[in-house]
Amino acid sequence: MRVVVVYKDFTDYAREVTDYLHDFNKLTGHELETLDPDSIEGEIFCRAHDIVEYPTIVALTADGQVQQLWKGRPLPAFNEVSYYMSGQE
């Protein structure tokens, strides 16, 4: 599985997301992938998955199918996201 956090730096929620990413890594040992929706890769990803609200966390299967999508705030609990990280190592 692949879990991607889509968010923009220098926004009112950016600090909350970076703290979330840091704490998630510290507590679970997993690092979440991040994408800036303003980058070329991020724009393609957002269009493909119809993402227009940030921050958004997306859990994808190996073939790119969306398993779970969390939009906006509040950010989901770590255990909700880490469930989709199983088998990623």
List, for residues 55-83, the tens digit of each pLDDT value: 999 999 989 899 999 999 999 999 999 99
Mean pLDDT over 17-27 rounds to 98
Average pLDDT, the chain: 94
User: Percent of the chain scored above 90 by pLDDT?
Assistant: 90
Going by pLDDT thresholds of 50, 70 and 90, the confidence category of residue 89 is very low
Number of other CB atoms surrounding residue 54 within 10 Å: 19
Domain CATH code at residue 38: 3.40.30.10
Which residue in the block uniquely carries the two structure tokens 């994408």?
Answer: 35
pTM for the model: 0.92
* Residues sharing a CB contact under 8 Å with residue 18, sequence separation 6 or more, in sequence order: none
CA gap 64, 10 in Å, rounded: 28
Residue with tokens 């009112």: 12
What is the count of structural domains for the chain?
1
The parent domain of residue 13 ranges over 2-83
Do the domain assignments include residue 88? no
